[in-house]
Amino acid sequence: MPAKKKIQDKPLTGAALIAETCRRIRVARSYWEAHNNRACRGEREKAMALYESLSDEQRKKVPQVLCVWLRYRSEKYFGDDRTPPGGGKR
């Protein structure tokens, strides 16, 4: 039986939001390096949603390496102009 998911009562704010954003980006990047594209896509979407909710001051606190991967490197592989997953079966 799978573990129960923790239901979050309050949305993240401040340092907790920045830390969760960085954690999600790192998880997505580790999935990407392991060639697990489906899991990477899901984590990247969650990380992008969190990153978009950050203010300009908070975005500056996210390490530059993570921002570059999230914004540019992963966009090349998971952007809207790419073929969606599960398209053609061989």
- Is the pLDDT at 56 greater than 80, yes or no? yes
Residue 27 CA to its chain's centroid (Å): 7
Residue 88: the pLDDT is 57
Spans of all domains in the chain:
14-78
Structure tokens at 18: 């920045």
Assess contact for 37 and 25: CB atoms under 8 A: no
pTM of the predicted model, to two decimals? 0.73
71 vs 56: which has the higher pLDDT: 56
- Is the pLDDT at 71 greater than 90, yes or no? no
